């Protein structure tokens, strides 16, 4: 079977690799450097499993910037393009999704189009009506950054949204679900077929629950830190309840990254005319956590400055920008929200981030490439996730990484 994938990001590339085990897959991207890297069997994103598969296996996978060549003969076209959150419109920017679908229809009006990009609730149904084309499905992805292929190979569930009043479209959805199951290493995984609007809602509600869990343990940590209690002991006691469990419980500077911030805001926007308290609180809690972290870091820096009889603005170091260990994703990382608050409070902020090779500045902050100089010049160093490199300056470090895991 011929399959095309629009977008060579975490979602698109992991899908392309997964399906190219058994099918002929063409991956499309507007960025020539991504296409060139994939053509050389190098991963344009940081994902060890993808890198390993590209190097070891003879996958039936090619990459191109030529949309028409990729889409013209494809039976399925998977849309995995970015949908950033537009704060002006209070909604996802779905421009890239619609452009990709139109590109498919310009050369192929027989393909089944599957949207993998996260979209507002009700979007797929409205797009079908707008374009006058019914064969558009929605299938949410549930992937972790840096582990996208691993999660596709071992999925928790496979969901495909369709028009359940149309037998032909329901069959297309079941067929696509089976494609994903056959490509995975978990043949017993459950495949759920539902309406596209319900499938869109599953994605947003799932990620908002994860954001709730992150926020809960962060607020637990805020309480324990403020009262001088052991966060680790409290969390250990709470999480031994099997109904709660010991996962996703490590305090941080807040939730961030590709999905949780934008998905929670989109779900809250979908609640505009629906009574709610909890959904709003999940979004607000993340801002409150960043406020708390900034205040604690600033207080620590000012105290250290008093102890050394220094004057002038305090210098606060930021050790790494990424949300998770091993990730190259800076987008909406929680530490950036803390940085902005510290700058507003008058602090000088310095960043140590090896992935910013060649950059002298990031978000108005000096980028220091020399780790030793970085440690010497900062009054306090904040780290969302701890690294043993910081052991030598431990008295300067502010970090809420209790368990050493993401």
Q: Are 15 and 61 in contact (CB under 8 A)?
A: no
Identified catalytic residue from 42, 239, 259, 378: 259
Sign, CA torsion 241/244/245/250 = negative
> Cα separation of 232 and 197, whole Å?
40
- Token pair listed for 23: 């099918």
Q: Are 92 and 102 in contact (CB under 8 A)?
A: no
Q: Which of 156, 281, 164, 263 is nearest to 204 (CA)?
A: 263
Known catalytic residue: 378?
no
Between the CA of residue 329 and those of 23, 164, 259, 353, 399, what are the distances in Å?
A: 30, 37, 11, 12, 19
Between the CA of residue 307 and those of 23, 57, 339, 349, 379, what are the distances in Å?
A: 66, 59, 23, 20, 11
Q: Are 161 and 60 in contact (CB under 8 A)?
A: no
Identify the helix (H) or strand (E) that includes residue 381.
strand 380-382
Q: Are 16 and 52 in contact (CB under 8 A)?
A: no
Between the CA of residue 313 and those of 298, 310, 316, what are the distances in Å?
A: 11, 9, 9
Secondary structure of residue 42 in the 3-state scheme: coil
Residues noted as catalytic: 259
């Amino acid at each position: 079977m011929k399959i095309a994938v629009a977008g060579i990001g975490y979602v698109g590339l992991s899908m392309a690799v997964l399906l190219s085990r058994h099918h002929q897959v063409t991956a499309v991207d507007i960025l020539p450097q991504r296409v060139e890297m994939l053509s050389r069997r190098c991963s344009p994103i940081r994902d060890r499993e993808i890198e390993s598969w590209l190097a070891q296996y003879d996958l039936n996978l090619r990459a191109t910037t030529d949309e028409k060549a990729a889409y013209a003969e494809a039976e399925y076209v998977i849309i995995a393009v970015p949908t950033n959150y537009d704060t002006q419109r209070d909604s996802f920017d779905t421009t890239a999704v619609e452009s990709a679908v139109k590109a498919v229809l310009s050369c192929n009006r027989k393909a089944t189009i599957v949207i993998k990009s996260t979209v507002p609730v009700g979007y797929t149904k409205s797009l079908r009506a707008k374009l006058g084309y019914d064969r558009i499905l929605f299938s949410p992805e549930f992937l972790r950054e840096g582990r996208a292929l691993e999660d596709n190979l071992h999925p928790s569930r496979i969901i495909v949204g369709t028009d359940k009043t149309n037998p032909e479209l329901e069959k297309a959805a079941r067929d696509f679900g089976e494609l994903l199951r056959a490509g995975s290493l978990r043949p017993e995984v459950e495949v759920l077929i539902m309406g596209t609007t319900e499938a869109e809602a599953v994605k947003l509600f799932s990620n908002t629950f994860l954001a709730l869990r992150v926020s809960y343990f962060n607020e637990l940590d805020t309480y324990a830190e403020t009262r001088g209690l052991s966060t680790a002991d409290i969390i250990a006691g709470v999480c031994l309840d099997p109904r709660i469990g010991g996962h996703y419980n490590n305090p941080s500077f807040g939730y961030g990254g590709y999905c949780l911030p934008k998905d929670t805001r989109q779900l809250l926007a979908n609640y505009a005319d629906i009574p709610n308290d909890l959904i709003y609180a999940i979004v607000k809690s993340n801002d409150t956590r960043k406020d708390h972290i900034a205040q604690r870091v600033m207080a620590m820096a000012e105290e250290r400055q008093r102890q050394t009889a220094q004057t002038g603005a305090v210098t606060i170091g930021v050790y790494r920008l990424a949300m998770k260990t091993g990730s190259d994703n800076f987008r909406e990382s929680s530490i950036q929200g803390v940085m902005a608050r510290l700058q507003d409070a008058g602090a000088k902020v310095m960043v140590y981030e090896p992935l910013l090779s060649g950059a002298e500045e990031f978000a108005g902050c000096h980028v220091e490439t020399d780790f030793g100089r970085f440690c010497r010049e900062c009054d306090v160093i904040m780290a969302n996730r701890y690294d043993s490199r910081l052991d030598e300056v431990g008295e300067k470090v502010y970090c809420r990484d209790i368990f050493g895991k993401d």
